[in-house]
Amino acid sequence: MAEIEDNAPDANEPGSQETSSDQSSESSSNCEMAEAEAQAIVRNYCVASGAIGFIPVPLVDLAALTGVQLKMVHSLARVYDVPFKSSWAKSAIASLVGGSAPLLASRSTASMMKSVPGIGTGLAMITQPALSSASTYAVGKVFIQHFSSGGTFLTFDPAKVRDYFSQLFSKHSEETEPAAEPK
């Protein structure tokens, strides 16, 4: 009888461990690259959101902000190879942001202040860019966490991440608040 030669490396041979180690470090490197790309996407969209806060027409700024956040989540989904449908993303963002009453109230109030001539417009121009940027930052970070852990739009549960979202929003809005005038 002819012997069958086994060319597959034995699990105890050094070559098989190197291959496993190489795959592990390559996977880790890919995760780090995706994370870095995702963080850059969030930073860029935060800047765009801040600029939207300067739109002088009440509620138009909120509509534009929603569009920017939708595009950001689309970009993040692409980084993490998550299937994207606009209706899924709109629903997920609306559930996340809409469930945060203080955020929703502050964004709406700041937008509506623009309808008050003079001081209202001035105050809104100071607060709205920071609120818009903070909202976008929190949405982006929540979706990075969700997508990087293997989540999709279909598995997204806004109730489970609402506290995390609120913490991120508060942290970022405090960091981007205009400095108070010294007395």
Task: Flag whether the pTM goes above 0.75.
Answer: no
Question: What does the block give as tokens for 54?
Answer: 């300067």
The pLDDT assigned to 127 comes to: 76
Distance between first and last Cα of the chain: 97
> Using CA atoms, how far apart are residues 102 and 157, in angstroms rounded to an integer?
19
Place of tokens 């508060």: 170
Among 73, 90, 69, which residue's Cα sits nearest to residue 136?
Answer: 69
pLDDT digits (tens, 9 = 90+) for 46-64: 999 999 988 877 788 889 9
Among 140, 120, 110, which residue's Cα sits nearest to residue 47?
Answer: 140
Share of the chain above pLDDT 70, in %: 66
How does DSSP classify residue 115? G
Please report how many Cα atoms fall inside a 13 Å half-sphere around the Cα of residue 145, on the Cβ side: 15
pLDDT digits (tens, 9 = 90+) for 106-153: 555 555 556 556 665 566 567 788 888 999 999 999 999 999 999 999
The pLDDT assigned to 109 comes to: 58
Asked if pLDDT for residue 176 goes beyond 90, the answer is: no
| Single-letter code of the amino acid located at 138 | A
Which residue ranges make up each domain of the chain?
44-176
Asked if pLDDT for residue 23 goes beyond 90, the answer is: no
For residues 98 and 158, is the Cβ–Cβ distance under 8 A? Answer: no
Asked if pLDDT for residue 36 goes beyond 90, the answer is: yes
